[in-house]
Amino acid sequence: MIVSHRHRFVFLKTRKTAGTSLELALARVCGPDDTITSLNPKDEVERRAAGIPGPQNDESPPLKRRAFNHMPARMARDAIGAEVFDAYYRFAVERNPWDAVVSAYFWSFRDREAPNFAEWVQGDQVDNLAKNAGIYRLQGEIAVHRLLRYESLAADVAEVWAHLALPGTPDLPHAKGGARPRDADYRSMYDDASRERVAAAFERTIADLGYEF
């Protein structure tokens, strides 16, 4: 999560949606009073090497509660206060669920032997990923001004950048890449049962955003 008082925005970071890449780009425009939550140790090393501002103002105090990566809207609002949360421009990223699940599968087993995909999909990892919907919702309702699409991320980020009048250009670094084969079309990974499993887990996301297999 990033909260910029300088530019009056809140970025809520979902999983497997290029959130780290966008977070790194946004951190470049943050000021000393803005909140930036920490990444995993490997990403923090790369962030420091690139000269990008790292974790800051993410503890309590100065926040009302500690902030963390993938913090849901309800907790973010508690941490920074309802007045700030409600006044700032809020955005997050969502992704075709069937594609996101395949991405999570390859990432989870990037350095070890992967189990059968159809069997893995039946586990609770899919339910955990479906919790993305709760990151940008309050009491079940979408609580961001803009829900960017992973499928058109560069264009969507450029529009947000212009809307907020952020300095420079939104050059997204390619973070956490290389785990998934370039030719791995997500549709080829599924059988009927695994396809329906994802459809059931992400029912709300699919209904609200119109994603199709």
d(CA 39, CA 68): 9
Go through 52-88 and write b for each residue having 16 or more CB atoms within 10 A of its CB, e for each that does not: bbebbbbeeeebeeebebebbbeebbbbbeeeebeeb
Q: Over 70: is that where the pLDDT of 18 sits?
A: yes
Provide the token pair at 182: 């370039």
The answer to whether residues 209 and 94 touch, using CB atoms and an 8 Å cutoff, is yes
pLDDT surpassing 60 at residue 97? yes
Mean pLDDT is highest, among 116-130, 166-180, 181-195, for 116-130
- Tell me the CA distances in angstroms from 171 to 26, 150, 185, 191, one per residue in order: 9, 15, 26, 37
Tracing tokens 């990444």 back to the chain, one arrives at: 39
What are the pLDDT digits (tens) for 21-41? Answer: 999 999 999 999 999 999 989
Q: How confident is the model at residue 152 (pLDDT cuts 50, 70, 90)?
A: very high
What three-state secondary structure class fits 10? strand
Give the mean pLDDT of 74-99: 97
Q: What is the mean pLDDT of residues 63-85?
A: 97
CA dihedral 4, 44, 70, 105 (to 10 degrees): 140
Q: Are 84 and 54 in contact (CB under 8 A)?
A: no
| The predicted structure's pLDDT at residue 17 | 94
- pLDDT bucket at 179, cuts 50 / 70 / 90: low
Give the model's pLDDT for residue 42.
87
* Alpha-carbon distances of 192 from 92, 101, 118, 155, 195, rounded to whole Å: 30, 15, 10, 33, 5
pLDDT tens-place string over residues 108-138: 898 888 899 999 999 999 999 999 999 999 9
Domain spans, the chain? 2-209
Answer whether 129's CB lies under 8 Å from 121's CB: no
CATH 3.40.50 fits 2-209, yes or no: yes
Global pTM value: 0.92
Between vectors from CA 92 to CA 199 and to CA 47, what angle results, nearest 5°? 115
User: In sequence order, which residues have a C-beta less than 8 Å from that of residue 45 and are 6 or more positions away?
Assistant: none
Q: Report CA Rg, the chain.
A: 17
Q: What is the mean pLDDT of the chain?
A: 93
35, 58 Cβ separation under 8 angstroms? yes
* Burial grade of 171 (CB within 10 A; 0-12, 13-18, 19 or more): exposed
